Structure 1
Amino acid sequence: MSAQTKPSPWSKVLASVALLTVIVSVLLTAFAWPSVRSSVHDVPIAIAGPAAATAQVTAALEQRMPDAFDITTVGSGAAAEQLIRDREVYGAIDVSGGNPQVLTATAASASVAQTLQGIGTALAQAQAQGSSPAVAVRDIVALPADDPRGAGLAAGALPLVMGGLLAAVLLTNLLKGTSRRVAGALGFAVAGGFALTAILQFWFGSLDGSYLANSGAVALSIGATSLTLLGLESLLGYPGFGLGGVLMMLVGNPLSGSASAPEMLPGWSGVLGQLLPPGAGNQLLRSTAFFDGHGATHSILVLSGWLALGVVLCLLGGLRSRRAAVRAEAGAGQATPSPVPAAA
């Protein structure tokens, strides 16, 4: 039997099985853990009404769901509504009129809106001594009628990340030169931003607001991802792609909070997710599409920081490559023997 057709040793088979098992276990943990362990904790909401009534509702919430909410009290439903539109809170319970009224913003988080509606029902039942009165619910900032569950916005998070990854891989293999790759990444971010936003907004009906602002949000998200990966590759080679892929796909995407809310993710993971491009990009797109840009500052700073970091890494990698090329040329010149004079 030739060496080329000789079967692999059983030890290599076992090692392959072990490696695949570890990989699939990591993938399952990364994508399932945030959802399985999600809960309501420190979610910003408002309670509107007289001081005595808001204190009573606050005490009831703390007793029913300890540490679930970060509560801001205001005097009127109008003030609570403004906080929702400014993205200061996810929703509110308005007791200024006597019976509890729930103010939600499904465009910010359908999961939080559903939780608030359940709490409003429980409070109304307690006031009515066990009966089941109808609870008034007002959706202050609703999702579009063509996509009332926000499926397109949640499902679009992964393609945005994959688009940045794919751009980095293709540009690295297709283009030579740091400036060309950076220009290609920026050009794709702009073109991809217009194309993907057009699909989400005009075809799927998943977005409202200004098309140009939404396209800018998507472009900034793609650019931050692709340029970061290009920079890591320029310094570390293909292992940089692996590092960037893990950071964006296995950490950033599951912790983005796109399907629920960052505050509903377990422990510190929601905060970490908002410091990475997938989470910041999702929150920025919600701000531009549904809240007239309110609450976008943090996301813009995060994405701009990653984009700038990617450009710096690309420049450093290009500088190192040029220095290596100069040293190689100098070494080749020194190794070339001097011509021997011809005999007379």
Structure 2
Amino acid sequence: MAPTAPRSAWPRVGAIVLLLTALLSLIMIAFAWPATRSSVHDIPIAVAGPPAATAQVAQQLQAKRPGAFDVTVVDGTAAAEKLILDRDVYGAIDVSSGRPQLIIATAASPAVAQALQQVAQALGGAEPAVPVRDLVPLPADDQRGAGLAAGALPLVLGGIAAAGILTTLVIGVARRIAGALAFSVTGALSLTAILQFWLGSIEGSYWLNAGAVALGIAATALTILGLESLLGAAGLGLGAASMMLLGNPLSGLSSAPEMLPSGWGTLGQYLPPGAAGSLLRSTAFFDGHAAAPHVWVLAGWVALGLVLAALAAVRTARRPAVVEPAAELVTV
């Protein structure tokens, strides 16, 4: 009678089921919680005009939407427009002419632009609709900004896939790093071409946009490669899970970092997906304004990945070599 194949114990099966349930719940929380809890809070906007009028508008905003806006008061339309173009604020309520008008930048965030229009109309009360001027609109081919918002996931997956495939198929830390850097360039050129020339979701300099995407892919891929070099498979899983379950849903690309639950939007901007998305928005629509902080964040992640890989290489070099015992000569 043939021997019975070994079977897993039932407690082990139960433990695995519970682990999978916890993992699925974590994925649901990571993706659904930021989306369902998005709201307008601490959105930077400007109010332009004479002191008496701007003070009245600021009071109305606080009364109607407490804590929703972080108001900067300026003395005229030009100053408000400069703040918008420099990405210091998302829009402005301009009362310089006596009657309110709203200045928005849909390219900065369609969700915030829509929220500002609703608030401005509420401020107008029973009067005719408040005029709206879009200072930085989205491209005509993608007026909802869907392509840029959806681009966050391929950017993350590209970095994760690069790290996973390179660690599986390429031997040698230096060669893996070289492969990740090369893929960051080629992948960015391809992804940016699709977004800009096919989908029409972004504008601006193709090369600057590709550079922003390349830096984002490199930050993700090299960080995961560095973790894998130092911690093995656990590092690979930790890096991939962090980028996918934290970085992607907290990137703020589909709404705005300020619309995510308090504190989480800020955290998302310090992770590669959020920093890369904000950097791409700056290069594509705002001539690179406010790009520097995001460049530094991504460069920091690239440097971290390289440092982790270097530490792993040093640790490997210090390990004593295993000496094979010399074969004994056997005489007949």
Q: TM-score, normalised by structure 2?
A: 0.96
Is 2:172 aligned against 1:177?
yes
Query: Offset of 1:84 from its aligned partner?
Result: 0.3
Is 2:318 aligned against 1:336?
no
Match of 2:130 among 122, 135, 139: 135
Match of 1:284 among 276, 279, 290: 279
Within-5 A mapping of 1:95-114? 95-114=95-114
- Measure the CA separation in 2 of the matches of 1:140 and 1:262: 21
Match of 2:231 among 231, 236, 258: 236
Q: Comparing 175-184 with 139-148, which one deviates more in the overlay?
A: 175-184
> What one-letter code is carried by the residue in structure 2 that aligns with 1:323?
R
- Measure the CA separation in 2 of the matches of 1:134 and 1:40: 22
> What one-letter code is carried by the residue in structure 2 that aligns with 1:45?
I
In the other structure, the counterpart of 1:153 is 148
Query: Offset of 1:79 from its aligned partner?
Result: 1.1
- Measure the CA separation in 1 of the matches of 2:218 and 2:10: 45
SS at match of 2:321: helix
Give the gaps of 5 or more residues in structure 1: 126-130
Is 2:75 aligned against 1:91?
no
> What one-letter code is carried by the residue in structure 1 that aligns with 2:326?
T
Q: Comparing 98-107 with 228-237, which one deviates more in the overlay?
A: 98-107
CA contact (8 A) 1:233 1:241 kept: yes
Whichever of the two has the greater Rg, that structure is 1
Is 2:196 aligned against 1:204?
no
> What one-letter code is carried by the residue in structure 2 that aligns with 1:221?
G
Query: Offset of 1:318 from its aligned partner?
Result: 2.0
The alignment yields a C-alpha RMSD, in angstroms, of: 1.7
> What one-letter code is carried by the residue in structure 2 that aligns with 1:163?
G
- Measure the CA separation in 2 of the matches of 1:15 and 1:159: 33
The Cα offsets for residues 233-271 of structure 1, whole Å up to 9 and x where unpaired, read as: 000001001110121010111111011110111111011
Query: Offset of 1:30 from its aligned partner?
Result: 0.5
Is 2:305 aligned against 1:313?
no
The Cα offsets for residues 296-316 of structure 1, whole Å up to 9 and x where unpaired, read as: 011000000000111111122
> What one-letter code is carried by the residue in structure 2 that aligns with 1:108?
A
- Measure the CA separation in 2 of the matches of 1:175 and 1:319: 19
In the other structure, the counterpart of 2:267 is 272
The Cα offsets for residues 139-166 of structure 1, whole Å up to 9 and x where unpaired, read as: 1111110000000000010010000000
Query: Offset of 1:7 from its aligned partner?
Result: 5.6
The Cα offsets for residues 207-229 of structure 1, whole Å up to 9 and x where unpaired, read as: 10000000000000000000000
SS at match of 1:300: helix
Identity %: 60
Query: Offset of 1:16 from its aligned partner?
Result: 2.9
Q: Comparing 14-23 with 193-202, which one deviates more in the overlay?
A: 14-23
SS at match of 1:304: helix
In the other structure, the counterpart of 2:251 is 256
SS at match of 1:45: strand
SS at match of 2:133: strand
In the other structure, the counterpart of 2:77 is 77
In the other structure, the counterpart of 1:128 is none
- Measure the CA separation in 2 of the matches of 1:15 and 1:339: 53
- Measure the CA separation in 1 of the matches of 2:139 and 2:317: 51
Q: TM-score, normalised by structure 1?
A: 0.92
In the other structure, the counterpart of 2:58 is 58
CA contact (8 A) 1:40 1:264 kept: yes
In the other structure, the counterpart of 1:35 is 35
Query: Offset of 1:8 from its aligned partner?
Result: 4.5
Give the gaps of 5 or more residues in structure 2: none
CA contact (8 A) 1:144 1:205 kept: yes
Match of 2:189 among 174, 189, 194: 194
Query: Offset of 1:339 from its aligned partner?
Result: 6.2
- Measure the CA separation in 2 of the matches of 1:13 and 1:211: 52
- Measure the CA separation in 2 of the matches of 1:318 and 1:144: 47
- Measure the CA separation in 2 of the matches of 1:2 and 1:99: 89
- Measure the CA separation in 2 of the matches of 1:196 and 1:230: 21
Q: Comparing 195-204 with 310-319, which one deviates more in the overlay?
A: 310-319
Query: Offset of 1:174 from its aligned partner?
Result: 1.6
Count residues with an aligned counterpart.
331
Query: Offset of 1:9 from its aligned partner?
Result: 4.1
Query: Offset of 1:37 from its aligned partner?
Result: 1.1
- Measure the CA separation in 1 of the matches of 2:4 and 2:317: 42
Match of 2:159 among 150, 161, 164: 164
> What one-letter code is carried by the residue in structure 2 that aligns with 1:227?
L
